[in-house]
Structure 1
Amino acid sequence: MASHLAGNPSAMLAVIADHLERYHEQIGDMVPHYQHDDQGDMINALVEAERSLRTAARLVRKASKTATPRH
């Protein structure tokens, strides 16, 4: 993480949440490509990962709103 964010946990967490949201979208975009193949296990794993990333992004975003700067 960039050193200018090191003393600002709120900003650092917001950046992490942004990354998690981007990964969530990327995985969500992959799911339709596998729905026509016989890859049920892969689809299930991707959907579960997508849900987990959405939850993680929401929780990290919540933490970023309550974080206080380090001294």
Structure 2
Amino acid sequence: MAGSTQSTATELATIADNVEQYRARVAALAEAHIGTDRDDFVSAIHEAERQIRVAERGLRRAIRTAG
């Protein structure tokens, strides 16, 4: 069973790394619109980024508990 847990943790780590990269990409998309009259758009992008960060933290927490 431990091998299965380690395998799952490894898979989760790969997914978490990808989620982290997507979060950074989403954050970067907001940069071009900061200071424009599209505060609503920037806020929505930042909220999406925060939600992705929450998902990443959840994945990292699951990885830690597997060890």
User: Shift of the alpha carbon at 1:67?
Assistant: 2.6
Identity of aligned residues (%): 34
Higher helix share: 2
Structural mapping, 1:1-71, within 5 Å: 8-67=7-66
- Tell me the C-alpha RMSD between the 2 structures: 1.7
Cα distance between partner residues in 2 of 1:64 and 1:13:
7
Q: Which runs of 5+ in 2 are unaligned?
A: 1-5
In structure 1, the residue corresponding to 2:32 is in which secondary structure?
helix
Q: Which runs of 5+ in 1 are unaligned?
A: 1-6
Cα distance between partner residues in 1 of 2:15 and 2:64:
13
Q: TM-score, normalised by structure 1?
A: 0.75
Task: Report runs of 4+ in structure 1 exceeding 3 Å deviation.
Answer: none
What are the superposed Cα offsets for residues 7-51 of structure 1, whole Å, 9 maximum, x if unpaired? 711001111110111011101111110113322221111000111
Number of matched residues?
62
